[in-house]
Amino acid sequence: MKNKKGKVHNYNMNVRRNFEKQQRGRRKKVVALFGLVIVLIIGGFGIYSAVSSNGENKEATASQGSSSQKPGQAENNNNSVNTESSKLDNSGYIPLKDDKNADDAKVVAERTSGLLKGKLHYPVRDDGKKVVYLTFDDGPSTTNTPEVLDILKKYDIKATFFVMGKSLADHPGAKELLKREAKEGHAIANHSYSHNYQHLYPNRVININNFMEEYNKTNALMKEILGKDFSTRTVRFPGGYWSWNGRENARPVLDKNGIEIVDWDALNGDAEGSGKSTPEQLVAKTKKTVEALGPNADSVVFLMHDTYGKENTVKALPQIIEYFKSKGFEFRTIK
């Protein structure tokens, strides 16, 4: 009986030990699993922190790189932008004081006016030079102005263009031609907006209000095209200043506004009669009007046109240039 009880007791002890052993095994697995979860959580947090920190460092580095420019670099960048903006807003038109090819419009106007009225006589220059000012009215035209500019460029000659505002406004491409005139070193002056005699000179009398309105309108348009640094004070009245009455009332207004009036004292005749003279006739007219000034003529303002229908002026221009060169003239502009 004792042996039987002992066996039962031993059996129960073994069962308990096995149960406790199993329980300990389960607890170890749970602890291990829990530990693994903790490790994964901590590891994931560490990775996230590292990545986040790395991103912040990159941003900080980029920020430092941006803010650690060399002294003056940011300023230079701004200057570069400003310079580019200035280029876009400025045609490169050369002012009188910087233009070695230009003479003062005030001086040229006084000489021309004095010669026309008989108050001055050749020679009028004090430097011993013979100078001709090639001037072109009524342009720019998309047909003839480009060829005129090509010829002038070939001869390395600068001219003065008396621009009509309506020509700029009405014809596509005319604005680019005005820019080309400026960039190639020519002088640009004002020749009214409409060239309408009835509006500018009703009953052949200068209407100074109408004239100034057109003068300002054309100047504003040219400034819009050429940029804020462009300005001109030189004007040619359509038909010529001395052709019209009412000058005594107009002149004080012009003087008050600093406007210099430049007419002409020789021409090729491309606007006379039908305006269809042959190139040979234009050259002959040139020689006739220049030689009429006498052998001492040393300052000649020469009138031509570069508007539509003046193809023969283009054809005659090289011969006209050669004629003036043969007479010892140099070519200058009026500003």
Q: pLDDT of 14-39, one tens digit each? A: 434 554 555 555 555 544 555 554 54
- Report the C-alpha gap between 186 and 180 in whole angstroms: 9
What are the pLDDT digits (tens) for 122-154?
999 999 999 999 999 999 999 999 999 999 999
Is 194's pLDDT higher than 80?
yes
Task: Note the pLDDT tens digit of each residue in 91-121.
Answer: 789 999 999 999 999 999 999 999 999 999 9
> Can you name the residues that pair with 103 across neighbouring β-strands?
334
Sign of CA dihedral 252, 253, 258, 259: negative
Residues forming the active site: 137, 305
Q: Report the pLDDT value the prediction gives residue 13, as an integer from 0 to 100.
A: 47
The sign of the CA dihedral 156, 278, 161, 175 is: negative
pLDDT at 275 over 90: no
Contacts of 314 (CB under 8 A, 6+ apart): 144, 147, 148, 151, 306
Q: Are 150 and 315 in contact (CB under 8 A)?
A: no
CA 29 – CA 128 distance, rounded (Å)? 116
Residue 1 has pLDDT above 60, yes or no: no
pLDDT in tens, 282-318: 999 999 999 999 999 999 999 999 999 999 999 999 9
Q: Specify which residues 234 forms β-bridges with.
A: 260
Overall average pLDDT of the 30-51 stretch = 48
Average pLDDT score, the chain: 84
| pLDDT class of 276 with cuts at 50, 70, 90 | confident
Query: Would you say residue 177 has pLDDT above 80?
Result: yes
pLDDT of 168 strictly over 90: yes
